[in-house]
DNA sequence: CTTCCTCTTTACGAATTCTTTATAGCCTTC
DNA sequence: GAAGGCTATAAAGAATTCGTAAAGAGGAAG
């Protein structure tokens, strides 16, 4: 199964937003939207999209600032939309980190082609991605580091594998069996006691209040679930 | 010394070619040109440019075919220029492998910005660099020398290879296996004990306080990592 | 032949991690 | 309200791994 790319659309015009959502969804993209730069950053942190399409003029935080902010932390493709066709504006946006600039009005087919071109250049699938983000968590698989709320935490290899696996499958319940197989390998004497101990240790390291887990919640008789956003 | 990017410009209008050559050269790009797709491929094979700017309509081999041909063998950025502004043409070019499409007439500053954006995405290869810099470290691969905090250190060949490899992959954790394969060659009786000894020796030579390593940190049960910045 | 340097191998204490066990608490069911 | 199953937490023992020192092997230079 091919996972569809996640696209975040940022614009303050509800009508354009609606058109884009529909067109992109029709082409099997996973779409979310935001109406200004600040909420866009929130969605970005929670959802970790593969591409961002943003308007330039917006309330709260304009497209240029959004580009710069995103570029500080990510290399994901950014496509800027704008009614402004002046050259200086284009240059400014491209130098702020945008990958492409499309002047409104534009043909939806052209935009889709530019989206395909941008995604083609960064063909990373979730499993191979080096940096995994989910809410307060950032997992750098290359550096083998995990930080929570900006603070790096030291995890043992098993804890690291367990948490990474949970984050990869965030939002869904994973059975004890699945988790044990993922961390200890399928052919093993699977004992759910391990899991309890490790989940406990993990919670002590990442939860604000380990007695009231917020990230790793337990689903009795089934397994555990990781939630990035409360 | 920063190597200037090599750009191949393909167009059959001598006048436009002249304008582009001058503008790009003025911005420190290394420019060569071709007047049709076939000769462009020849220059590409000979010269190995970092980016291609091409017109669509050309004799002998048009821009679309050139895109496809280049994409078969390379992932380098391609920017298409054309007088045709129809959407289908744009979509066709982008899907043929072009990274960007600019309609003539265009502002030279915009084109330059798009060139910068395209080159920014292209990954530079560290392996080819003669002089590697990372924080307090300078590796002169030509002279086979390494200096730390301005002070040259004497390293044995294996130590040199090990440290160079670590610096090349700075920031990421390298497994014992990877390191052993890199320094001693893959087909070898791999014994992690070597590594401990060599890392220890290396630390004694480059760390300010070998008992509290700052540059070469160890990720227990996984491997080692080189950190340039504290 | 001796000396120096580098590479390989071994050994051991210290630190960390993994596994196991035990105890207490919670929820559902009867 | 009691019983049974699941879960959370602490703690102890076993097993690995890390860092370091040191000794032997091989080769090059004097």
Which residue of chain B comes nearest to A116, CA vs CA?
B95
pLDDT at A135: 87
Query: What's CA A90's distance to the chain center, in Å?
Result: 27
Distances, alpha carbon B166 to alpha carbons A57, A119, B21, B28, B178, in Å? 45, 31, 40, 32, 11
Determine the protein residue whose CA lies at the shortest distance from the C1' of C15: B220
CA distance B91 to A109: 7
Give yes or no for B32 touching A (CB within 8 A): no
Q: What is the pLDDT along chain A (230 residues), one digit of tens a residue?
A: 556 889 999 999 999 999 999 999 999 999 999 999 999 999 998 898 999 999 999 988 999 999 999 999 888 999 999 998 889 999 999 999 999 999 988 999 999 999 999 999 876 544 456 788 888 999 998 899 999 998 999 999 999 999 999 999 988 899 888 888 888 876 556 677 788 889 999 999 998 887 888 899 988 888 899 988 76
Give CA torsion, residues B202, B181, A159, B227, to 10 deg. Answer: 40
CA distance B223 to B217: 9
- Put simply, whether the predicted model's pTM sits higher than 0.85 gets the answer no
CA distance A167 to A161: 10
Here the tokens at position A225 are 């679930």
Enumerate residues 6+ apart whose C-beta is below 8 A from B85.
B103
Query: What's CA A85's distance to the chain center, in Å?
Result: 31
pLDDT at B187: 57
| Helices A176-184, A157-168: inter-axial angle, 10-degree rounding | 130
Which residue of chain A comes nearest to B108, CA vs CA?
A87
Residue A33 DSSP symbol: E
With CA atoms as reference, report the closest residue to B144 among B157, B125, B162, B129.
B157
pLDDT at B131: 82
pLDDT over 70 percentage in chain A: 93
Query: Which residue of B95, B110, B114 is in closest CB contact with A116?
Result: B95
Query: Is the distance between the Cβ of A218 and the closest atom of strand D smaller than 7 Å?
Result: yes
Query: Which residue of A87, A110, A121 is in closest CB contact with B110?
Result: A87
Which residues from chain A sit within 8 angstroms of residue B87, using beta carbons? 107, 109-110
Angle at CA of residue A22, ends A17 and A28, nearest 5° = 125
Q: Please judge whether A157 and B222 are an interchain contact, meaning their C-beta atoms are less than 8 angstroms apart.
A: yes
Burial group, residue A193, by CB count within 10 angstroms (0-12, 13-18, 19+)? exposed
Give yes or no for B112 touching A (CB within 8 A): yes
With CA atoms as reference, report the closest residue to A94 among A114, A64, A117.
A64
Interface test with B, best of A117, A131, A139 (most B CBs within 10 A): A117
With CA atoms as reference, report the closest residue to A102 among A28, A9, A34, A5.
A9
Distance B208 CA to C7 C1' (A): 25
Collapsing DSSP to helix, strand or coil, B167 comes out as: helix
Q: Please, how many CA atoms are within 13 Å of residue B196, restricted to the half-sphere of its CB? A: 6
Sheet hosting strand A6-10, strand order edge to edge: A30-34, A6-10, A51-55, A78-82, A100-103
Query: What's CA A146's distance to the chain center, in Å?
Result: 15
Distance B197 CA to C12 C1' (A): 15
Distance B220 CA to C19 C1' (A): 18
Query: Is the distance between the Cβ of A176 and the closest atom of strand D smaller than 7 Å?
Result: yes
Query: Which residue of A87, A94, A121 is in closest CB contact with B99?
Result: A121
Task: Give nucleotides in strand D with any atom < 7 A to a protein C-beta.
Answer: 6-11, 17-22
Q: Please judge whether B116 and A95 are an interchain contact, meaning their C-beta atoms are less than 8 angstroms apart.
A: yes
CB atoms within 10 A of CB A107: 14
Helices within chain A (DSSP H only) = 14-26, 37-47, 63-73, 87-95, 108-121, 157-168, 176-184, 192-206
Burial group, residue A19, by CB count within 10 angstroms (0-12, 13-18, 19+)? middle
Query: Which residue of A110, A143, A156 is in closest CB contact with B172?
Result: A143
Query: Is the distance between the Cβ of A222 and the closest atom of strand D smaller than 7 Å?
Result: yes
With CA atoms as reference, report the closest residue to A7 among A34, A28, A38, A30.
A30
**In the predicted model, what is the mean pLDDT of chain A?**
89
Q: Are B186 and B170 in contact (CB under 8 A)?
A: no
CA distance A186 to A178: 9
Residues near chain C (nucleic strand), Cβ < 7 A? Answer: A 154, 156-159, 184, 191, 193-194, 197-198, 220; B 154, 156-159, 184, 189, 191, 193-194, 196-198, 220-221
Q: Please judge whether A144 and B116 are an interchain contact, meaning their C-beta atoms are less than 8 angstroms apart.
A: no
Cis peptide before B105 (omega within 30 of 0): yes
pLDDT at A188: 58
Distance A159 CA to C14 C1' (A): 23
Can you say whether the dihedral through the CA atoms of A9, A15, A90, B96 is positive or negative? positive
What is the number of residues in chain B? 230
pLDDT at A222: 86
Which residues of chain B are modeled with pLDDT < 50?
1
Determine the protein residue whose CA lies at the shortest distance from the C1' of C8: B194
Query: Which residue in this structure is represented by tokens 């499309």?
Result: A102
Interface test with A, best of B78, B106, B114 (most A CBs within 10 A): B114
Here the tokens at position A70 are 């995103």
Interface test with B, best of A75, A87, A103 (most B CBs within 10 A): A87
A contact residues 166-225, partner B, Cβ 8 Å cutoff: none
Give yes or no for B87 touching A (CB within 8 A): yes
Enumerate residues 6+ apart whose C-beta is below 8 A from A11.
A17, A20, A33, A35, A54, A55, A58, A81
């Amino acid at each position: 199964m091919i996972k569809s790319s996640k696209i975040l659309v940022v614009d303050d015009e509800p009508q354009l937003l609606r058109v884009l959502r529909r067109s992109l969804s029709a082409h099997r993209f996973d779409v979310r939207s935001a109406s200004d730069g600040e909420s866009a950053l929130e969605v970005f942190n929670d959802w970790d999209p593969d591409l961002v399409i943003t308007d330039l003029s917006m309330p709260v935080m304009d497209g240029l600032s959004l580009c710069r902010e995103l570029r500080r932390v990510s290399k994901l493709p950014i496509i800027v939309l704008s009614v402004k066709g002046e050259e200086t504006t284009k240059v400014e946006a491209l130098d702020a980190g945008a990958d492409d600039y499309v002047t409104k009005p534009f043909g939806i087919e052209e935009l889709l082609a530019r989206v395909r071109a941008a995604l083609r250049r960064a063909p990373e699938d979730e499993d191979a991605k080096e940096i995994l983000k989910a809410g307060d968590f950032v997992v750098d698989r290359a550096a083998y580091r995990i930080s929570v709320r900006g603070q790096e935490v030291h995890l043992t290899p098993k804890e690291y594998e367990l948490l990474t696996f949970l984050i990869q499958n965030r939002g869904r319940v994973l059975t004890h069996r699945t988790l044990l197989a993922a961390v200890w390998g399928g052919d093993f004497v699977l004992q759910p006691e391990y899991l309890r101990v490790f989940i406990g240790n993990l919670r002590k390291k990442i939860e604000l209040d380990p007695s009231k887990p917020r990230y790793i919640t337990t689903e009795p008789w089934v397994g555990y679930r990781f939630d990035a956003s409360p």
